[in-house]
Amino acid sequence: MTPPAAGFGTRIVSTGSFVPEKVVTNFDLAEIMDTSDEWIQKRTGIRQRHISDQSKGEGTVSLAINAAVDAFEKSGLAPEDIDLIICATCTQEMTCPSVACRISERLGTKKAAAFDLAAACSGFLYGLNFAETLIRCGRYRTALIVGADAMSTVMDYTDRSVSILFGDASGSVVVTRDDDPARGCQYQLMGADGVGWEALYMPRREVDIPEHDRDNPIKLGMLRMNGREVFKFAVKKFQEVIEETMEQSGHSIDDLSLMICHQSNLRIIESAREKLGIEEGKVYVNIDRVGNSSAGSIGLCLDELNRAGRINEGDLVLFVAFGGGMTWASSLWRV
């Protein structure tokens, strides 16, 4: 991967997000499972999460559409200006049509390419990186990238080791071509190691369940996680990915204006921050309010920061994520 050369640059036009109204606190969870607010806060930093009201038909499609409409309306663009829609999700209600096509229907984009992308919590950055590359090379002018996961729809609320972590949310961004080639993504990194898939999976059929998990009470369609394995992987990977991105881009940690990382667990984020000596105020955290919303998390953080006026032209912003697969990604932007 080489740094951006002469040609087109890219810029963020607008951002959007959505969280469902319904809030589930740690105390609410303690009423239905053997856990406590103290345990959850200490191990994860989470106080509450938002979840979809499935009785009202809420889920991934409504999360995705709400975030998409938010960014689209703020962009001031017309439907025909959008060339590409990517929706990152691992909780599609229907695999056909894609969630991206439902967004297309709602926005009235008649010609934009639209597809879903599955890279779990890394999905939003995979989508952002692919779209940025296609715009930079001149193939497309403007893309809408959405990350949306209704994790509550794949939670077994009798499994306390998994269900306390996740919440539902979505985030979105409109990215377009810029005449300044120095603007936009400075360096991007994406990777996967399928050997680790058994640490985080959603079995649809009995045969999907790995041998070592067959004796455990596993519900089909629900997320199964080996928390300790994922934790070890994440702590190591976050640090490696950040170090490689900064080194390859020719920037130092001190050059960063902000780091926006996937909200997996406060301890994972803090471990990377402390090891790399990143100032506390430069690392955004909202996991206490929303939990881990998988592909929704990074776009939601970006939009919250944007709305708070904390993303300014010329800032150097590092995005970093890891997720099921196992997958990982980074994207370093001069915004």
212 is catalytic: no
From candidates 24, 230, 283, 329, binder to ligand ACO by CB under 6 A = 230
In a 3-state reduction of DSSP, which class is residue 164? coil
Shortest reach from residue 160's CB to ligand ACO, in Å = 4
Gyration radius (Cα) of the chain, Å: 19
Per the residue annotation, which of 90, 292, 301, 306 is the catalytic one?
A: 292
Q: Which is nearer to ligand ACO, 228 or 307 (CB)?
A: 228
Tell me whether residue 217 or residue 309 sits nearer to ligand ACO (CB atom).
Answer: 217
Site residues for ligand ACO, 20-79, by CB under 6 A, read 35, 39, 43-44
In 3-state terms the chain splits into helix, strand, coil percentages (rounded to 5) of 40, 25, 35
Q: Which stretch binds ligand ACO (CB under 6 A): 75-83, 159-167, 173-181, 235-243?
A: 159-167
324 binds ligand ACO (CB under 6 A): yes
Answer yes or no: 292 catalytic: yes
Q: What whole-number distance in Å separates Cα of residue 192 and Cα of residue 329?
A: 9
User: Does residue 120 belong to the site contacting ligand ACO (CB under 6 A)?
Assistant: yes
Can residue 292 be called a binding residue for ligand ACO (CB under 6 A)? yes
Output the smallest distance, CB 218 to ligand ACO, in A: 16
Q: Are strands 200-201 and 224-225 parallel, antiparallel or unpaired?
A: antiparallel
d(CA 201, CA 184): 34
Question: Residue 51 is encoded by which pair of tokens?
Answer: 């979840």
Torsion (CA) 63, 65, 66, 72 in degrees, nearest 10: 140
Verify binding: residue 175, ligand ACO, rule CB under 6 A: no
Write the burial class of residue 55 (CB in 10 Å: 0-12 exposed, 13-18 middle, 19+ buried): exposed
Q: Catalytic residue among 262, 265, 301, 306, which?
A: 262
- Nearest-approach distance from CB 161 to ligand ACO, in angstroms: 4
Q: How far is CA 217 from CA 36, 160, 214, in A?
A: 22, 13, 8
Q: How far is the CB of 154 from ligand ACO (least distance, A)?
A: 10
Beta carbons of 63 and 52 less than 8 angstroms apart: yes
The answer to whether 265 contacts ligand ACO (rule: CB under 6 A) is yes
Active site residue 262: yes
Tell me the β-bridge partners of 16. 172
User: According to CB under 6 A, which one of 234, 246, 287, 332 is a site residue for ligand ACO?
Assistant: 234
148 lies in the binding site for ligand ACO (CB under 6 A) = no
Neighbours of 211 (CB within 10 A): 7
Q: Which residues have a Cβ under 8 Å from the Cβ of 192 and sit 6 or more positions away?
A: 119, 325, 326, 327, 328
Site string for ligand ACO, 293-322 (x = CB under 6 A): -x----------------------------
The yes or no reply on residue 160 touching ligand ACO (CB under 6 A) is yes
Q: How far is the CB of 57 from ligand ACO (least distance, A)?
A: 24
Q: Can you tell me the distance from the alpha carbon of 237 to that of 321, in angstroms, rounded to the nearest whole number? A: 9
Q: Are 155 and 283 in contact (CB under 8 A)?
A: no
Q: Please identify, among the stretches 54-62, 128-136, 138-146, 230-238, the one whose residues bind ligand ACO according to the rule CB under 6 A.
A: 230-238
Catalytic residues: 121, 262, 292
Binding site for ligand ACO (CB under 6 A): 35, 39, 43-44, 120-121, 160-161, 164-165, 200, 225, 227-228, 230-231, 234, 264-265, 292, 294, 323-324
